[in-house]
Structures are given as structure tokens and as C-alpha cells.
Amino acid sequence: MVISVDRYGVMGYPVSHSRSPVIHRLFALQTAQNMQYELLQVPPEKLESAVRQFQRTGGKGLNVTVPHKSEVARLADTLSDRARSAGAVNTLVFDNDAIFGDNTDGVGLMRDLQQNLGIQLEGINILILGAGGATRGIVQPLLAANPASLTIANRTLSRAKGLADHFGAYGPVTACRFEDDLSKTEFQLIINATSAGLKGEMPPYPEEAITASTQCYDLSYGLNPTPFSQWAATHGAARSVMGWGMLVEQAAESFNLWRGTRPDTAAVLKQLIITA
């Protein structure tokens, strides 16, 4: 008798740093699901053929990470509201020939900030560094929490401006460069959503934006403190947190879409950090 195992995976470039396979294996064990989860390194020019081949060969779903999140939205037959408004997809669900695209980054970040870390977002000034696919997924949920302001700073100003225009209908959002003078606003929360740390690069982040009451959150995560979290601690931030919690929370939302069951994230987060 052949026992078939449902296949899932994460596509990115690079992707070797991803902890998603470990997280989904822990979720599968915890909820007794018969599935496997693979790490798939796919360069941008091969994205479409790799997704279609994974689907053709019986794949049930994919996570999609840097730098494919915007491009992969094009391949979905239908998109969730949150993926459509973000213009970025991090989860694909394959149902026979159809592809459904969703974005679980926003809900993952919000769960970590509000429930796990107890950060109050209403009425605060938020600075996001970076304007790529991850930022696209988190701006609208952050604006829905009614901050006083949300500023997007990016190396390429036109990209930050594009997002500020796109999300302007949802709340007070503006765009700038890292080098612009940000000393007039007191930021209670700074979120690093650049991929610079992945490449070991250190952009000219605006030091004047940090005060002793600023909480700093890096979407990137690592075995050791990331360059951004080190920078934040060095410049006197009240708290400097890496994105392990968001990673586990967004994964739980994807897992629920695929398997119809929600794992216990606290247990997996603890296990992941202990074994990291």
C-alpha cells in the first residue's frame, strides 16, 4: 500500500536561512498532520515554472518569501482581500488546477506585537524601514490599529512613495529616505522590513529616530542579534526584538489555511528559540 504525503514548501532566493521547514514540522507533529515541507531555492526568472511544476507534481501549498512576494501574486487565480490590498502574497493554496493567494504576514506581525509583546499601537508614531513585499503586507493591518502616524523610509524613495500613495486611503502614511531628518517626530515603534541584514549589509538607518522609549522590531531574525537589532540596542532603544514571533504566527496562519487546524504557537516559538 502506498501512503501519500501532502507536500508543501517555501520558495525564496536566498532561502537557506529560512526556519519555515522546522516550524511546519513542529506544527505537523503537534496537530498529527501527515505532510512534508521543503526548502526550495528558486531564482526570480524561474519562479513561474517552479510554482507550476510544484503544483503539477502534487504540491498542496507554498510559502513564498524574499524576493518573490509581489511577483507571485500574478500567478494566483484568486486572491484574498488582504493579499489584494497588499499586492503581495506569502501563501499559495493549490486546489486541483486553481491557485489561491493569501498574505499572512500582516496578521502574523499584529499577533506578535499586540498579543505576544503587549505593544499598544493606537495613537503612536510608527516608522517602517524598507518598502518591499513584507512592508506591503504589514502597512494596512498597522493602519487599522489607528496609529497617530506611519512613516515609510526606504533606500529607493519612489518605492516608499508608491506605498504611501497606495495605502493613503487607509490612514496617515508618508514616505521618506533614510537620510531625511526624522528628529521632529518621536517614534514609539520602529520596524525594520529591509532585507539588508540577510546580505550582511548595514544601511544608514536614521539614529535620531530612536529615543529611550522607542521599541524596535526587526522582521529579520537570526541565531545571533541581527545588525538592525544590534544597532537599535546600541542607540538606546527601550526594547529590541527579532522577528521570530512574527515568523511563527504567520506560519500558523498559513498552516491553518492548508490544514484547517490552528497550532499552538507559544509552544513552537519556545522550542524554536531554544533550538535555534
Return the active site residues. Answer: 69
Piece of the chain touching ligand NAP by CB under 6 A; list 3-11, 24-32, 143-151, 191-199: 191-199
- DSSP run (H or E) holding 224: none
Place of cell 529579520: 220
Whole-number Cα distances in Å, 249 to 115, 157, 203, 246: 11, 30, 27, 5
- Asked whether 128 and 150 are in contact (CB, 8 A), the reply is yes
Nearer to ligand NAP, 148 or 174 (CB): 174
Around Cβ 117, how many Cβ atoms within 10 Å? 13
Q: How far apart are CA 272 and CA 78, in angstroms?
A: 33
Shortest approach of ligand NAP to residue 68 CB, angstroms? Answer: 8
Piece of the chain touching ligand NAP by CB under 6 A; list 128-136, 143-151, 208-216, 267-275: 128-136
Q: Is 162 in the site for ligand NAP (CB under 6 A)?
A: no
Pattern 76-115, binding to ligand NAP, x per CB under 6 A?
-----------------------------x--x-------
Q: How far apart are CA 120 and CA 164, in angstroms?
A: 23
Report the residue from 201, 207, 208, 264 that binds ligand NAP according to the rule CB under 6 A: 201
Nearer to ligand NAP, 118 or 204 (CB): 204
Q: How far apart are CA 17 and CA 9, in angstroms?
A: 14
Q: How far apart are CA 41 and CA 28, in angstroms?
A: 22
Report the residue from 246, 268, 269, 272 that binds ligand NAP according to the rule CB under 6 A: 246
Residue nearest to ligand NAP (CB): 132
Whole-number Cα distances in Å, 99 to 73, 82, 94, 216, 275: 10, 16, 5, 36, 34
Report the residue from 72, 83, 127, 134 that binds ligand NAP according to the rule CB under 6 A: 134
Contacts with ligand NAP by CB under 6 A lie at 66-67, 69, 105, 108, 130-135, 154-156, 159, 193-196, 198, 201, 203, 219-221, 243, 246-247, 250
